[in-house]
Structure 1
Amino acid sequence: MAVQLDDGAERTAPGTGKGGAPPENGAPPAGRPPRLPGRRAPRLPARRTPLPSARRAPYLLLLPALLATALFLGWPMARNALLSFQNLNMKELIQHLTDWRGTGNYQEILGSEQFWRVTFRTVVFTGVNVVLIMVLGVLIGLLLARLGKKMRLALSAALVLAWAMPVIAATTVFQWLFDSRYGVLNWVLDRLGWHSMAHYDWVGTQLSTFFVITVLIVWQSLPFVALNLYAATTTIPKELYEAARMDGAGTWKVFTSVTFPFLKPFFLATTFLEVIWVFKAFPQIFAINEGGPERLTETLPIYAFTEGVGNLHFGMGAAISLLTIVVLLAMTAYYLRLTVKQEQQEENEL
C-alpha cells in the first residue's frame, strides 16, 4: 500500500518544484501546454491616432452650410437687431440719419397692452391650429394605410396637389369661396335653406375671420402630416398588429398600444414643426383681411409688419420681430423640455 502511494507521488512530482514552485529545469507546470521555442505571445494592435485632415473633414463639409446660414440668416438678423435700437422713421431714412434710442423701443412695446393682447392671441391661434392639424392629419394618415391601392393613390395625389399649391394662390381661392357676394359657400348655404347666409360677410367679425384663416391653414398643413404618418406606418412590423388583434384589441387600442408608441418620435417632431409653421404664418392672415377687422386678427408677424412698414416705424417693427423670435424660442424650448422629460421617464420605466 505504501509502495503505491510513493509511486503516485513520483508521478506527480515532475510538475512542481520545491515548495510548489515550477521546476528548475524550465519545464511547464502540470496542466499547461509547453511553449514552443521561438514563438511569442500575440500583441494587440496599437491604436491609430486619426490624421489631422480626417479630424477637419466633418467641419469642412459643414462649412458651406454654415457660411450660407451666416450670410442669409445671420447678417439680416444682426442688421435687424441694430435697427431695433434706433428711432428709424421716414425722415431718418431719407436723410440717412442714425438716431440711437437704446432700449426705448423695447420699453414702449413691452409696456403696451396691444403687444400682450397680440401675443396671447397668437399663442391661442397657434395651439388651436396645431391640434386640428395633428388630429385630422393622423386620421387621414391612418385612412391611407387602410385604403386599397387605387383609392390610396387618388387620395395621395389630391393631398400632394393641395400641398404643392402656392400659399397666395390658395389664399386667393379661399377668398373667392368665402366671398360675401359671389362666394360658393354662401350660395350653397342659401340653397340648403340658410337664406340668412346668402350675403354673409365672413371677414366682417373676428371669429368668422379666424375661422376662414384656420380652415385655410389646416387645409394647407394636412398633407404634410398625413403623408408622413402613412410613410411612418409602413415601417411598423405587421406582426405587432396581428398580435394585438389576436389579443382582442380594437382600433383605438391598436393605435394606443402599437402605432402611437412606435411612432412617438414622429409625433413629437411633426408637432414641433407645425408649431413653428403656424406661429410664423403671415401670407394667409395678411391676404385674407390684413389683420382686420380693426386689427382684431393680428398675430405677432402681422403686428410687426403693420408697425414697421405700415406705420413707417421701422425701428419699432424690428424690435417686435425680435421679440416674436424670443416668444417662439420660449415656446419651443418649453416643448422640447417636456419631450426630454417624457423620454427620461420612459427610460426609467424600462
Structure 2
Amino acid sequence: MAVQLDDAVDKRAPRIGKGGAPPSGRATGTPRTRTGRATPYLLLLPALLATAVFLGWPMVRNVLLSFQTLNMKELIQHLTVWNGTGNFQEILGNEEFWRVTLRTLVFTAVNVVLIMALGVLIGLLLARLGTKMRLTLSVALVLAWAMPVIAATTVFQWVFDSRYGVVNWVLDQLGWHAMAHYDWVGTQLSTFFVITLLIVWQSLPFVALNLYAATTTIPKELYEAARMDGAGTWKVFTTVTFPFLKPFFLATTFLEVIWVFKAFPQIFAINKGGPDRLTETLPIYAFTEGVGNLHFGMGAAISLLTIAVLLAMTAYYLRLTLKQEEDEL
C-alpha cells in the first residue's frame, strides 16, 4: 500500500528543475516561444547578409551584364544596351567555345585522376610510416599546401625557365643537350605539362592528409581479420579501406573537380593561356573575352555558362551521394 501511495504522489507531483526552478516548456509539452523558434535564424542572419552582399549582388550584376552589349564605346558613354540572349547565342554558336569547354573537361579529368591516385598513395604511406617519418612528411605536405598560389607559380616559372631553369640544367647534365634551352611554355603540350605538375603538387597535401586522417577511423580488427584470411595489400585496400572510405573518396574527388575546373591564377600566370590561346580553359577564356578584349557582356555570359557546367557536375555528385545513402539504408 505504501508503495502504491508513493507512486501516486510521484505521478501527481509536478517536476521541478535544478534548484527548484520550474520545468522547461519542452519537458512539460508546452510550445516553444517565438523567440526560441527564431533564434537559429537570427544566428544565421549575419552570414546570410554577408553572402548576399559579397556573393549574391555580384552574381545579380553579372547576370544583368550578360544580357547587355557592353564594349569600350558603351562603357565610356555610360550606355546600357540590352541585347537579350544575343551574347549566349553568339557563344554557343562559336566553335572556339566548345573547343575550350572540351579542353577544360579533359584538363580537369587528367588532373583529378593524378591528384587522387597520388594523394591516396601518399595517404596510405603516411599510415604505414613511423612517427618521425610521418611527422617529417606531414610537415613537408603542410608547407607545400600553405605556399600561396602565385608564389608557387613563380617558383615553377623559375624552375622551368628556358635559360636559367634548374630542370633544363639537370637534363643537360644528364646528356639531353637538346633540352639545355628548351622553352617549356612554347607548345601546348609542354605548357599543360608544367601547369598540371603545378596543380597536382598544390593539391596532393589536401588529399593525402585527409586520407590519412580518415584511415585512423578504420578499426584495426578489420585489417587483422583480412590478413588472417590471407588477403594481400591490394585485397586489403579493395575490401577494407576503400569500402570504408568511399564517402571520403566521393567528397574529395568532387572538391578537387571544382578546384581544378575553376583554376585561374596558375594557368594565367604561367603563360596567360598561350601559346596562341591553346591552353585557355573556361575561366581564362571568360577573362580574355571580357577584360582582355573589352567585351564585358560576352565575358559575363561565358562565366555564367561556366557556372552552369559546374552546377551540372554538382547535380551528378549529389545524385551519386543520395544513391549511396539509399543503398546503405
Change in CA separation of 1:39 and 1:281 when aligned onto 2, cut-off 3 Å: closer
Match of 2:98 in 1: 116
Secondary structure of 1:86 counterpart = coil
Distance 1:253 1:54 in 2: 53
Match of 2:29 in 1: 47
Q: Does 1:170 align with 2:152?
A: yes
State the one-letter code of the partner of 2:298: M
Distance 1:285 1:39 in 2: 78
State the one-letter code of the partner of 1:194: W
Match of 2:316 in 1: 334
State the one-letter code of the partner of 1:48: T
Distance 1:117 1:155 in 2: 40
Secondary structure of 2:82 counterpart = coil
Distance 1:176 1:203 in 2: 12
Distance 1:104 1:208 in 2: 37
Distance 2:246 2:35 in 1: 39
Match of 1:274 in 2: 256
Change in CA separation of 1:39 and 1:325 when aligned onto 2, cut-off 3 Å: closer
Q: Does 1:132 align with 2:103?
A: no
Match of 1:149 in 2: 131
Distance 1:39 1:242 in 2: 56
Q: CA deviation at 1:216?
A: 0.2
Q: Does 1:187 align with 2:169?
A: yes
State the one-letter code of the partner of 2:128: R
Match of 1:231 in 2: 213
Q: CA deviation at 1:249?
A: 1.3
Q: CA deviation at 1:41?
A: 10
* Pairing 1:1-350 to 2, within 5 Å after superposition: 42=11, 47-347=29-329
Distance 2:217 2:94 in 1: 51
Structure ID, larger Rg: 1
1:270-309 Cα deviation digits (max 9, x unpaired):
1111111000000000011110111111000000000000
Structure with more helix by fraction: 2
1:218-249 Cα deviation digits (max 9, x unpaired):
00000001111111111112122112111211
State the one-letter code of the partner of 1:175: Q
Structure 2-normalised TM-score? 0.91
Distance 1:249 1:53 in 2: 59
Structure 1-normalised TM-score? 0.86
Secondary structure of 1:87 counterpart = coil
Q: CA deviation at 1:84?
A: 0.7
Secondary structure of 1:190 counterpart = helix
Could you list the runs of 5+ residues in structure 1 that have no partner in the other structure?
Answer: 1-34
Could you list the runs of 5+ residues in structure 2 that have no partner in the other structure?
Answer: 15-26
1:53-111 Cα deviation digits (max 9, x unpaired):
12111111111111111110000000111111111111111111111111111110011
Deviates more, 1:275-284 or 1:173-182: 173-182
Secondary structure of 2:79 counterpart = coil
Match of 2:23 in 1: none
Secondary structure of 2:276 counterpart = coil
Q: CA deviation at 1:150?
A: 0.8
Change in CA separation of 1:39 and 1:177 when aligned onto 2, cut-off 3 Å: closer
Deviates more, 1:247-256 or 1:145-154: 247-256
Distance 2:180 2:63 in 1: 49
Structure 1 segments, 4+ long, off by >6 Å, are: none
Distance 1:51 1:238 in 2: 48
Secondary structure of 1:92 counterpart = helix
Distance 1:118 1:197 in 2: 30
Distance 1:204 1:164 in 2: 30
Q: CA deviation at 1:250?
A: 1.2
Aligned residue-pair number: 314
Secondary structure of 2:151 counterpart = helix
Change in CA separation of 1:97 and 1:232 when aligned onto 2, cut-off 3 Å: same
1:171-220 Cα deviation digits (max 9, x unpaired):
01111111111111111111111122111111111111111100000000
